[in-house]
Structure 1
Amino acid sequence: MDSKNTERMFASIDGMRVEEILRYFADDIEFQLGNNESICGKDAVRQGLTKFFSSIKGMRHSFSGIWSQDNVVICQSVAEYARMDEKVVALPCVSIFKYNGSLIIDYRVYIDISPVFA
């Protein structure tokens, strides 16, 4: 749950490397991006991430803060998304991770992702 582990995970996210990302998750992970329905389980998250990553050219997070307490990590960032039309959209974002041991069991991304697809 240290900030270095979080930074490594976000390097995998920004690289859109689904299988690397999944290594950080428990089998029964619950994941929610923005106002989308939450999805449960690694297979569902694999499918969701693969679909999302296929809809953008790239992404990058710039952090303004990473905080942890007990088994929770909160990350505040600006997420930059490279759209298929080559435009880059920068959006404020907060991600909250809940851990069970070394694996994430709950991952919530608070963002309005709609400008990426506008």
Structure 2
Amino acid sequence: MERKYKHVDTLSNALDSKNLEKVLEYLSDDCVLIAGNGEAVNGKENIGKVFEGFFPAVKSTAHDVTDIFESGESLVHRGTVTYTRLDNSQLTVPFCDVFKMKDGLISEYYIYIDWSELF
């Protein structure tokens, strides 16, 4: 069966290249982001500010998406992400991103990850 939201598979590449403009292309204007146990961030502009703050805090990220599940208007990406800290040390942790889609864009973006050892 052909996947409806295959275009979202390249979101990790945009994140890993710290291409904020490209990341925001995946999001609806009224998107909601909840990362880990953090507060909800409402709206594409505010989400952009979150990523603008996060990108300089790490040297790089490398996502390895190992599983993709799609059902109706929901999409799940699961895998590992390797963070290279500013001191060049690395941390690899599992993640699971859950996306609710609307009109081909991400309207709800949930990041399930344990960042407790990152900083």
- TM-score, normalised to structure 2's length? 0.93
TM-score (norm 1): 0.94
| Distance in structure 1 (CA, Å) of the matches to 2:104 and 2:5 | 10
Which of 34, 41, 44 is 1:42 aligned to?
A: 44
In the alignment, structure 1 segments of 5+ residues that lack a partner are: none
- Aligned counterpart for 1:114 among listed residues 109, 113, 116: 116
Q: Which of 59, 63, 71 is the equivalent residue of 1:61?
A: 63
String of CA shifts for 1:61-82, please: whole Å, max 9, x gaps. Answer: 1122001000100111101111
SS in 2 for 1:80: strand
Superposed structure 1 runs of 4+ greater than 3 Å apart: none
DSSP 3-state at the match of 2:68: strand
Percent identity, please.
26
- Post-superposition offset of 1:2: 3.0
> What is the total number of aligned residue pairs between the two structures?
116
Distance in 2 separating the partners of 1:42 and 1:11 = 19
What CA RMSD, in Å, does the superposition of the two structures yield over aligned residues?
Answer: 1.0
Which consecutive residues of structure 2, in runs of 5 or more, have no partner in the other structure? Answer: none
C-alpha separation between the residues in 1 aligned to 2:78 and 2:51? 20
Q: CA deviation at 1:6?
A: 2.4
- Paired residue type of 1:75: H
Native 8 Å contact 2:8 2:26 kept in 1? no
